[in-house]
Amino acid sequence: MNMLRIMIIEDERNHFELMEHAIKKEFPDAMVELCEKADLCLDRLKESDMDIIIADYLLTGITGLELFEELKRREIDVPVIVVTGHGNENIAVKAMKLGAFDYVVKSGDFFELIPELIRKALRDRDLKAKMRRTEEEKKRLQAHLQQAQKMEAIATLAGGIAHQFNNALSSITGHTGLLEMEYPEDEKIMDYAKAMKQSAHRMAHLTSQLLAYARGGKYNPQTMSLSNFVEGTLPIIQHTLDPDIRLETDLPQDVMNVEVDRTQMQMVLSAIVAKSNEAIDPPGRIRISTRNMDIDQEFIKDHPGLTPGSYVCLSIEDDGKGMDEETRDRIFDPFFTTHFMGRGLGMASVYGIIKNHDGTTTVDSEIGKGTVVRIYLPAIPSAQARRAGLPAIEAEEEVEEGVVLRPQVELAMGEGTVLVIEDEEPLVKLFRQILEMLGYRVLEAMTGEEAVELAKTFDGQIDLALLDIKLPDMDGGRVYPLIMEVRPNLKVIVCSGYSINGPAQEILDAGAQAFIQKPFSISALAEKLKEVLEGK
């Protein structure tokens, strides 16, 4: 327990000595300080922390109440006991209104009452401090809840937008592929198709970021060292930096392993470093480091979403311009930018990806003092193992700076009957065109009920179903067991504009063979159909 510090403001020394004696009897280790003049008292209180103030009402040049008003004005929050030899109810009322802890009259037993008054004042102070901490904790939790609800609402919206975008992009990329296949010798049409496909791929990249923000899933989780991962990613990000910005690293080899999707983590690191690069007026410095951390309940208070255990912290620190509080509060909002021209999702996708990896992201920044982004990821083996989902199918072309990097491949032809369960008519028509061109017979169902009815009544074999998740009457998760009940040997590819996590993964867990995410290329669809039908 800390030493009790008491200031007695009294201009009669004999009264002070009597009070000091009574206090020392009960609190022998207490420090009792005399202050005879109000102005000296105020100056002294600036320099030291007092636990209790005992103030005489009548002081030379100022009353105890006037002194108390000045204490309140200066926001000196210490319990004050006002004492006087000329007590009346008016003085008592004024003292209490100003927040005095107690008001007592100097009397025969006054000095004996002092220790008990001090105990009561200390209990009152401690109770108020506890209540204040409780209120602060309540406000902090409310702020975290509001932030979580806001991010959840935005994530839901982002996921819905990405789904609609991906459906539209599926039609664009599919029909572009058909143009390329039907008019391979027409140079002008091929140029048009190439330009459309490049734009579609850029939009597909944006929707993948939207889905990442909406906690879209770890497509290909791998156990790895974050230090080794950063070391291997440095060449990718180094060339994106201004030549006058120095990249420093502190990557100890003893950091624990984590389970992450390598591609998504590259997106995370690139997005953060890009923000740092923009924030620095060269010359400058960006420092990337990793370290092990044991996270306890105290840490979790300010980092909701984590659980106690072992983590690896990835820090990206820059000496750029820094951010004000308003910017920090909005840094994870989709499309939020301090630049005139926005650059997509950036930190929003960072938030979603890390949250989906059971981690959290924090940003510390002040104007003129740079920024530190910290990412906390569960370490292996203390992290709960999560079964990896099947990888999403990517288009057969990769686009970087508008240039097609991967050439078209020969299509995998097939045979058999495919049931297309899709509610958007343009996509149904597109599927029919593509599948028939690939050699398949096509059945169509635009609702879950139609799909189940077809499965029951079609007089022939259905080899495979392409099952969309979002249908007007029931979702794919309800359709799947109903069609499997009547067609137990049916093979199913889940097809969605959403990511693999969530409903798609549940259908895969129930027995579906594969997942393909919209938008996809004709060659990717052809290859996946062949793989599933041949049982690869």
Q: Given this chain, do its domains 145-219+389-536 and 222-378 carry the same CATH topology?
A: no
* pLDDT attached to residue 452: 95
291: which DSSP letter? E
What's the pLDDT score for residue 382?
39
Distance in angstroms (rounded) separating the CA atoms of residues 105 and 95 = 13
For the domain spanning 145-219+389-536, the CATH number is 3.40.50.2300
For 192, how many CA atoms within 13 A lie in the half-sphere containing its CB?
A: 13
Could you tell me how far CA 355 lies from the centroid of its own chain?
6
Pairing of strands 309-318, 360-365: unpaired
Fold of 222-378: Heat Shock Protein 90 (3.30.565)
User: Are the beta carbons of 418 and 441 closer than 8 angstroms?
Assistant: yes
Predicted pLDDT of residue 156: 66
- C-alpha dihedral (451, 456, 461, 466), degrees to nearest 10: 20
Is residue 468 within 8 A of residue 490, CB to CB? The reply is no
429: Cβ–Cβ under 8 A, 6 or more apart, which residues?
none
**Among 336, 366, 419, 332, which Cα is nearest to 147's?**
332
Q: pTM of the prediction?
A: 0.47
What local confidence, expressed as pLDDT, does residue 294 receive? 92
Tokens representing residue 469 in the block: 């998740």
Please tell me the predicted confidence (pLDDT) of residue 379.
92
**How many CB atoms within 10 Å of residue 240?**
11
Per-residue pLDDT at 401 = 34
Regions of the chain where pLDDT drops below 70: 1, 38-39, 46-48, 57-65, 85-93, 95, 98-99, 103-105, 108, 144, 147-163, 205-206, 208-220, 332-346, 381-410, 536
The residue assigned the tokens 């922390």 is 49
| Predicted pLDDT of residue 405 | 34
Rounded to a whole number of angstroms, the distance between the first and last alpha carbons of the chain is 71
What radius of gyration do the chain's Cα atoms show? 35
Domain ranges of the chain: 5-107, 145-219+389-536, 222-378
List the CATH code of the domain at 5-107: 3.40.50.2300
